[in-house]
Amino acid sequence: MGESSVLGAVVPTVKSEAPEEPVAAAAAQQLQVQPTPQPARVVVAAEAEERGGDEVDRDLLCPVCMQIIKDAFLTACGHSFCYMCIATHLQNKSDCPCCGHYLGWITIDLAYAAIMYTSISNFGLLRKTSARQIAKNASPFERLRQALQQGCEVSLKELDGLLSLLSEKKRQMEREEAETNLQIMHEFLHCLRKKKLEELNEIQADLQYIKEDISSVENNRISLYRARQRYSSNLKMLMDDPNSKSAWPSVIDKRSSSIKSIVPSEQGKSIMGPGSSQNRKADAKGPASSQMLQRKDVCSGSDSHGTQSAVSVARKRRVHAQFNDLQECYLQKRRNWARQAQKQVERDTSAVDREGYHAGLEEFQSVLSTFTRYSRLRVIAELRHGDLFHSANIVSSIEFDRDDELFATAGVSRRIKVFEFSSVVNETADVQCPVVEMSTRSKLSCLSWNKYTKNHIASSDYDGIVTVWDVTTRQSVMEYEEHEKRAWSVDFSRTEPSMLVSGSDDCKVKIWCTKQEASVLSIDMKANICSVKYNPGSSNYVAVGSADHQIHYYDLRNVGQPLHVFSGHRKAVSYVKFLSNNELASASTDSTLRLWDVKENLPLRTFRGHKNEKNFVGLTVNSEYIACGSETNEVFVYHKAISRPAAWHRFGSDSDEADDDGGSYFISAVCWKNDSPTMLTANSRGTIKVLVLAA
């Protein structure tokens, strides 16, 4: 009976098996009424069972038989009946049993009646079931509240007992909450006390380190002062003795050399400072000038002392300007040395020299001396790299040769130009001509001189070609064309001069040998390669800067997985350079430089101050300093132990470039001259400057 249903406004047809009497069937056919499926019967039965004998809702009863409606029918006047009841009624009358409305020609909407009945019954069942479920799951307090709201009679004594019980429950909950709060506070104070005690112990240890180091420095100063006093006394005695006047110049020279041997090298640098080069020039002029200098120092000494005093004041000013960074550097080195000393069963006497200095203090003194010695970059030479036939003048790479006598430049002009460094520095010509010039088919991205074969230089270009050139013959020695996209970087090994490495946009690192025409090894990576560099101490290790924001450090004897992966940069790593066998510097377009320990797999320091968000701005390192370019057309120099710049120079500050739009240019290449304070720099306009660190 419930197998068919009709949706919408169409009136369904009557099922053939429903009416058994011919008269009832004829009446139903005349009135176009149909029986509905009876899911309602099942629902109502379930409801009656759930109610357990409760009174049935009157809306569900048929007004004729006063029973639950079976096969519901809805009349035009809005009343519902059982099918058989309304059919039987219509055999005798043609009006509604409830209101008397005429039903002779009015159609009963069977589908609507079935839907209405099902909705009404389901709603009633849901409402009553929900009420019972809520009552079943209600808390004791909710049940009590409902009982009181429904007018449950409670005596005054019962209410007093109930109130007393509630008050006691409230006090108990308040005590529990207070105990929990006190427990949390107690744990916090214990943690705070522990942390502050650790800080106090660390501060006390630092104070002890400082006290010991102050004592060491004072003892060293006393020894230097006494040595100087002995030297001055002996010199005065020689000057006052008439019998030794003829021999005193040679004695002075011997004494001078002996006092220099007494003073440690680092201390000598600290005392003499930038004026030491002037003293050496004066000594080179001969005994007469030496005599005059010594007499001046002993007798008057005012000019020399005044100069040294001014230098000392400037260096002290730089110390105070970078005090926080220097403090961090000192404590880090001192604590490291203390931890290493604790690991030793017996302290090695070689770790402490005759002045009482330990390794940590000597290392920091070296940092302090080198950092405060320089405060600016001074231009000592300048030349224009651009030519009349090429408007593109960006210098992508600039490199010194093995002996620092020549330097080569390359860029988007498709030419490698080799200059003689001494002529660029010493000659004042407006235009410097290269001693060698080699043309290429494509724009160049990187250069690398062979550190063993002086006349060999490698280049990488935008077509992915790696070329080895002979500067003497100006011809290519080898060409490697295995890269499928632009090659960004190339580097010769320092320990195996026939080996070189390259990296490309094809996500491949390739190892080449100048004795073979094909690559020796290939490393497939997941991102573009921006920079590659051999470890200076071994040809087995290569550092790779990638566009995946990481530095991958490979052992070429096992390239299945990198030996280390250094993470920390937030954008592509554009350069990697080694300061030593264990120290690696990296540059990124997140405007930071980072220093890593490749042996211990540790980050050491982050350097900030320059701006680099999209361009290759260059990176160069020596044993103490790291230099890079900036998109503000400036060169920045960092000491490897200090996070902030030690010196900087802006291109255009002392040339015609100041008249141009400085924001449109950026530094594109930098290169130190070995471990000297001199470096080469170039910008995107094609201007090349020789800069030197100065006080």
Q: How many other β-carbons are positioned within 10 Å of the β-carbon of residue 276?
A: 12
Phi/psi region, residue 683 (left: phi>0; alpha: psi -120 to 50; beta: rest), is: beta
The model's pLDDT over 76-107, given as tens digits with 9 standing for 90+, comes to: 888 888 888 888 888 888 888 888 888 764 44
pLDDT in tens, 330-361: 888 888 887 777 776 555 555 444 445 677 78
- Beta-bridge partner residues of 669: 682
Q: What's the chain's Rg over C-alpha atoms?
A: 48
Average pLDDT value over all residues in the chain: 78
- Residue pair 532/502 in contact (Cβ under 8 Å)? The answer is yes
By the 8 A CB rule, do 82 and 95 touch? Answer: no
**Nearest of 315, 332, 431 to residue 688 by alpha carbon:** 431
SS (H, E, C) 291-347: HHHHHHHHHHCHHHHHHHHHHHHHHHHHHHHCHHHHHHHHHHHHHHHHHHHHHCCCC
Which of the residue ranges 120-134, 429-443, 500-514 would you say has the lowest mean pLDDT?
120-134
Q: How distant is the alpha carbon of residue 15 from its chain centre?
A: 77
Cross-strand pairs, 449: 457
Helices (H) and strands (E) in the chain, counts: 14, 30
Pairing assessment for the beta strands 406-411 and 395-400 based on DSSP bridges: antiparallel
- Residue 431: per-residue pLDDT: 72
- The CA-atom distances, in angstroms, between 480 and each of 275, 410, 500, 510 are 51, 18, 11, 10
Cα–Cα distances (Å) from 622 to 318, 362, 584, 687, in that order, read 22, 20, 11, 23
Q: Tell me the per-residue pLDDT of 15-73, one tens digit each, with 9 for 90 and over.
A: 444 444 443 343 334 334 444 444 434 344 444 444 444 455 677 889 889 888 888 88
Question: Given pLDDT bands bounded at 50, 70 and 90, which one contains residue 577?
Answer: very high
| 434-491 confidence digits (pLDDT tens) | 999 999 999 999 999 999 999 999 999 999 999 999 999 999 999 999 999 999 999 9
Residue 589 confidence (pLDDT): 95
What integer pLDDT is reported at residue 14 of this predicted model? 39
The per-residue pLDDT for range 515-532, each reduced to its tens digit, is: 999 999 999 999 999 999
> How far apart, in whole angstroms, are the C-alpha atoms of residue 144 and residue 634?
80
Residue type, 68: I
What local confidence, expressed as pLDDT, does residue 273 receive? 38
Does residue 137 carry a pLDDT above 50? yes
In whole angstroms, what is the distance from residue 404 CA to residue 196 CA?
A: 54
**What is the per-residue pLDDT across 666-677, written as a single tens digit (0 to 9) for each?**
999 999 998 789
Residue 142 to residue 102: CA distance in whole angstroms = 52
The proportion of the chain whose per-residue pLDDT surpasses 90, expressed as a percent, equals: 42
Token pair 């002009």 in the structure block, residue:
413
Assigned token pair, 5:
């249903």
Three-state secondary structure call for residue 189: helix
Mean pLDDT, residues 289-303 taken together: 41
> DSSP assignment of 443-509, as one string?
-EEEEEE-SSSTTEEEEEETTS-EEEEETTTTEEEEEE---SS-EEEEEE-SSSTTEEEEEETTSEE
In this prediction, residue 269 carries a pLDDT of 38
Residue 673, pLDDT score: 92
Longest CA–CA separation in the chain, Å: 166
pLDDT value of residue 430: 65
Contact yes or no for 588/567 (Cβ under 8 A): no
pLDDT band at 162 (very low <50, low <70, confident <90, very high): confident
Q: Taking a C-beta distance cutoff of 8 angstroms, is the pair 574, 587 a contact?
A: yes
Question: What is the per-residue pLDDT across 252-288, written as a single tens digit (0 to 9) for each?
Answer: 555 444 444 433 443 333 333 334 444 433 343 443 4
> Which H or E element spans position 202?
helix 156-240
Per-residue model confidence (pLDDT) at position 356:
57
Return the H-helix or E-strand segment holding 531.
strand 529-535
Strand partners, 529: 546
Handedness of CA 636, 666, 620, 485 (dihedral sign): positive
Other Cβ atoms closer than 10 A to 571: 15
Most confident of 69-78, 231-240, 241-250, 622-631: 622-631
Most confident of the following: 129-138, 253-262, 371-380, 540-549 = 540-549
DSSP state of 423: H
Q: Band of the pLDDT at 108, cuts 50, 70, 90?
A: very low
Instruction: Write out the DSSP string of 373-421.
Output: H--EEEEEEEEE--BTTBS---EEEEEE-TTSSEEEEEETTSEEEEEEH
Which residues make Cβ contacts (< 8 Å) with residue 278, sequence separation at least 6?
none
Where is mean pLDDT largest: 65-69, 151-155, 338-342, 546-550?
546-550
601 or 10, greater pLDDT: 601
Q: Which of 98, 101, 44, 92 is nearest to 69 (CA)?
A: 44
Q: What per-residue string of b and e applies to 226-256 under the rule 16 or more CB within 10 Å gives b?
A: eeeeebbeebeebbeeeeeeeebeeebeebb
Span 612-636, pLDDT tens digits:
999 999 999 998 999 999 999 999 9
User: Considering only CA atoms, which of 57, 35, 30, 27 is closest in space to residue 44?
Assistant: 57
What whole-number distance in Å separates Cα of residue 457 and Cα of residue 401? 8
In this prediction, residue 184 carries a pLDDT of: 94
pTM here is 0.63
604's tokens:
């050491």
Report d(CA 633, CA 618) in Å as an integer.
12
Distance CA 68, CA 55 (A): 12
Strand 80-82 with 72-74, pairing: antiparallel
Instruction: List pLDDT tens digits, range 306-334.
Output: 666 777 888 888 888 888 888 888 888 88
Mean pLDDT calculated for residue range 534-561: 95
Half-sphere exposure at residue 627, Cβ-oriented, CA atoms within 13 angstroms: 31
Task: Return the amino acid letter for 353.
Answer: D
